[in-house]
Amino acid sequence: MLRVSASEDFDWTKNDRTSFYYGTFPTGFSWGAGSSAYQTEGAWNIDGKGMSIWDAFSHKKGKIFLNDTGDFSCEGYYKFKDDVSLMKDMKLNHYRFSISWPRILPSGLTGEHINEKGIKYYDDLINMLLENKITPIVTLYHWDLPQVLQEKYGGWQNITMVNHFNDFANLCFERFGNRVKNWITFNNPWSIAVEGYETGEHAPGLRLRGSGAYRAAHHIIKAHAKVWHTYDMQWRSKQKGLVGISLTADWGEPVDISNQRDIEAAERYIQFYMGWFATPLFNGDYPQVMKDYIGRKSGQQGLGASRLPVFSPQEKSYIKGTCDFLGLGHFTTRYVTQRNYPSGLGDSYFTDRDLAELVDPQWPDPGSEWLYSVPWGFRRVLNFVKTQYGNPMIYVTENGVSEKMLCTDLCDDWRMQYFKDYINEMLKALKDGVNVKGYTAWSLLDNFEWDEGYSERFGLYYVDFRSKTKPRYPKASVQYYKRIISSNGFPNQREVESWKRKALETCSSSNQLLAADPLIGHMEMVTEIVVPTVCTLCILLSAVFLMFLLRGRL
């Protein structure tokens, strides 16, 4: 249930939610920033890379805001050396990035062509990170399935994907595992399943309501378990690394904490979100509440079996315990209350939960529509993981906030506030006894925010997408995060209170640089069009002139 134990002085029921805790993180706590392949690399068809479902999806009109694509994005494929310098300057301990499956296996399959140029790109990136003492945390699947596998097999709807993914992972262990010790199989499988196969907002854009998401998730969980076993059997003793998964989980708070129905609805919200994946991996099966609700509603629909697939006893024991650490992506919180959805009226993942989500209009909402800043929810979700799954090792793999496209102000005080408050709640959770080992700010750079295109910017660094060279500019939050890192937390009130002021002093000069940038961008365009044209004209004129001269002589 939602009630969790906490030591007296950190008990949130007694502690003011907005109180600030001064203190530092344990020595060795790892600070990082994150990215993903499709969101940052660009170079979508370069050096033998195959198509991914996101290439295909974003190239269709009407799928992405302003029909933007990740074709070029931040050009991270070419600029990774500059980006490692940015990380070094921030003194990051780790960098989380993902490997594009079709970049190294264009057809998705190991039996066919292995693209050595793609392998070299990741080799160079990993080596560069290690030379700079930055630990790579590598995600194998951040949503960019090879398009061929979607077309041939229907992607994650098909059980054969388990073996294909395992082959791809095995290749990555073989080629990179001597240097990479922290592997994440899947990033946010909730989103892959629900947005890819239920609502269709994400690639591959399928709308298989009420069953597509459950089937995709079932195969993803099996694929994760298989990869964990492959690592365990074939690589662990040599490479001595860890294999985890990254789950995204918002917190769900009962609207009325004294109302049992609200408490149960909030519990369902979390179980249908993180529990859907975490419970099989840690405890061996789907959460009971999912089995009950989806089973009952499937029966009312007249279906012979539940729309939620079933694990056999052998599968349960194979899947249980396949997480060396839990990666946690957390951004926001919802209030939750009970709401009945009668069965038969368009059953879906969302109606299966019988709940309604609410937000407090006073919560700050600086960027993405769905992202309200509610720092105290972070501490709760971390404690929930501790009590539900036996206090596993946690790496926060994503946490951050966006701003709207039109906002080009590098003095991002709302982001500094967000990081300050969320990281402080994580510190409180550590004091509660939660086993958090590292924190990853999302994201290093502004990048392609999926169906929102470039309209929502999560980066610590601003990227000028209008310019061909995609220059990066530090936002004030870079300075702020740097201070948190160098102090390993929040040493004392006097010091922490000076950080924002100091960070804001530096961002105005970057603002001026950025303001000047449209001119530079324009000049580049002029160079491209005018200079070649003028040159061609000059050559033509000289030729004509020469002909006249020659004629005169003859």
188 or 306: CB nearest ligand NOJ: 188
CA atoms within 13 A on the CB side of 482: 18
Chain residues 388-427 in contact with ligand NOJ, contact rule CB under 6 A = 398
CB of 456 to ligand NOJ, least distance (A): 7
Query: What are φ and ψ of residue 53, in 5° steps?
Result: -65, -25
122 or 458: CB nearest ligand NOJ: 458
**3-class secondary structure for 182-201?**
EEEEEECHHHHHHHHHCCCC
123-142 footprint of ligand NOJ as x/- string (CB under 6 A): --------------------
Q: Which residues contact 51 (CB under 8 A, 6 or more apart)?
A: 44, 45, 102, 146, 147, 148
Binding of ligand NOJ at residue 188 (CB under 6 A)?
Answer: yes
275-314 footprint of ligand NOJ as x/- string (CB under 6 A): ----------------------------------------
Angle CA(540)–CA(544)–CA(549) in degrees, nearest 5? 145
CA distance 27 to 183: 22
Show the tokens assigned to 254.
């009962």
Which residue among 329, 366, 377, 392 contacts ligand NOJ (CB under 6 A)?
A: 329
Per DSSP, the residues of 522-545 read: HHHHHHHHHHHHHHHHHHHHHHHH
> Which one from 198, 398, 425, 452 is the annotated catalytic residue?
398
Chain residues 451-490 in contact with ligand NOJ, contact rule CB under 6 A = 458
Which residue among 449, 461, 510, 511 contacts ligand NOJ (CB under 6 A)?
A: 449
**3-class secondary structure for 73-114?**
CCCHHHHHHHHHHHHHHHCCCEEEEECCHHHHCCCCCCCCCC
338 or 447: CB nearest ligand NOJ: 447
Binding of ligand NOJ at residue 195 (CB under 6 A)?
Answer: no
Chain residues 7-36 in contact with ligand NOJ, contact rule CB under 6 A = 36
**3-class secondary structure for 353-392?**
CCEEEECCCCCCCCCCCCCCCCCHHHHHHHHHHHHHCCCC
Binding of ligand NOJ at residue 100 (CB under 6 A)?
Answer: no
Q: In 408-489, where does DSSP find H-type helix? A: 413-431, 476-487
403 or 449: CB nearest ligand NOJ: 449
For residue 189, the Cα-to-chain-centroid distance in whole angstroms is 11
CB of 452 to ligand NOJ, least distance (A): 8
- The residue nearest ligand NOJ at its CB is 188
CB of 246 to ligand NOJ, least distance (A): 8
Show the tokens assigned to 538.
């000059």
Query: What are φ and ψ of residue 395, in 5° steps?
Result: -115, 125
Question: For the CA atoms of the chain, what is the radius of gyration?
Answer: 25
CB of 273 to ligand NOJ, least distance (A): 13
Q: Taking the CB of residue 549, how many other CB atoms lie within 10 A of it?
A: 10
150 or 248: CB nearest ligand NOJ: 248
Show the tokens assigned to 200.
């269709």
- Burial class from Cβ neighbours inside 10 Å (0-12, 13-18, 19+) for residue 494 reads exposed
Chain residues 34-73 in contact with ligand NOJ, contact rule CB under 6 A = 36, 39
Which residue among 187, 351, 440, 479 contacts ligand NOJ (CB under 6 A)?
A: 187
Judge whether 375 and 363 are in contact, CB under 8 Å: no
Which residue among 52, 147, 248, 373 contacts ligand NOJ (CB under 6 A)?
A: 248
CB of 329 to ligand NOJ, least distance (A): 5
CB of 446 to ligand NOJ, least distance (A): 10
149 or 441: CB nearest ligand NOJ: 441
CB of 360 to ligand NOJ, least distance (A): 21
Strand partners, 141: 186
CB of 359 to ligand NOJ, least distance (A): 17
Q: How many residues bind ligand NOJ (CB under 6 A)?
A: 10
Catalytic status, residue 456: no
Q: Taking the CB of residue 133, how many other CB atoms lie within 10 A of it?
A: 10
72 or 458: CB nearest ligand NOJ: 458
100 or 248: CB nearest ligand NOJ: 248
CB of 519 to ligand NOJ, least distance (A): 30
Judge whether 228 and 307 are in contact, CB under 8 Å: no
- Burial class from Cβ neighbours inside 10 Å (0-12, 13-18, 19+) for residue 261 reads middle
267 or 451: CB nearest ligand NOJ: 451
The residue ranges that bind ligand NOJ (CB under 6 A) are 36, 39, 187-188, 248, 329, 398, 442, 449, 458
Which residues are known catalytic residues?
398
